[in-house]
Amino acid sequence: MKKSEEFRFKIVIVGDGAVGKTSLIKKFTKGTFERDYVKTIGAQFSKYNKEINGDLVRLLFWDIAGQDDFNFLHHLFYKESRAAIIVYSLEENELGKNSFTHIKNWHEAIEQHCSNIPVVLFANKIDLVDEENLDATKIQKLVDDNNFLKYFITSAKTGQGVIEAFNAIIEHLYLRFKIL
């Protein structure tokens, strides 16, 4: 009989302020969505346990504030991360445009502080745009150019893509470390 194992993974979640990082984590870990925006101060931590093939996977999500006020602390927040999620907003406004442009900056910070860890992109707030007009080729090019693991279209409000997106990075980590 195979002995079960325990895995611990820290996953850092970054992106501009108000793109939905905290809401995505709450939707995945608690199944809830709060309409009111509350700015993250510094970083928030969420724990979540998942069983995969009889093994216990303990996750610690570090939700890093997207506002520039906290840049001086970021190097501490990234420490010992096993994976990263970059979140941006699909909204067709200044927040959406800027958050897409800033993906490059967030990726550079991840590379600087974490070296070579898998990165997944969450294109969030699909509930606020017409999905049929979404230019997925632009997103895929960004993923390919930066060697991201994958991208997911998500909505913290409706739950679209959230479970699949988080599970993809968790299962990737599990399989990667299971064979070591």
Hunting for tokens 């069983």 — which residue is that? 51
Domains in the chain (CATH in brackets) are 6-178 (3.40.50.300)
**Residue 107 to residues 2, 47, 61, 83, 95, Cα–Cα distance (Å):** 39, 24, 17, 12, 18
pLDDT value for 114: 93
Residue (of 45, 102, 42, 44) closest to 74 by Cα position: 42
Task: List pLDDT tens digits, range 11-30.
Answer: 999 999 999 999 999 999 99
User: Residue 157 pLDDT > 70, yes or no?
Assistant: yes
pLDDT value for 34: 78
Cα first-last separation, the chain: 20
Task: List pLDDT tens digits, range 103-148.
Answer: 999 999 999 999 899 999 999 999 999 999 998 999 999 999 999 9
User: Residue 98 pLDDT > 80, yes or no?
Assistant: yes
Task: List pLDDT tens digits, range 22-72.
Answer: 999 999 999 998 776 555 655 678 999 999 999 999 999 998 776 555 555
pLDDT value for 171: 97
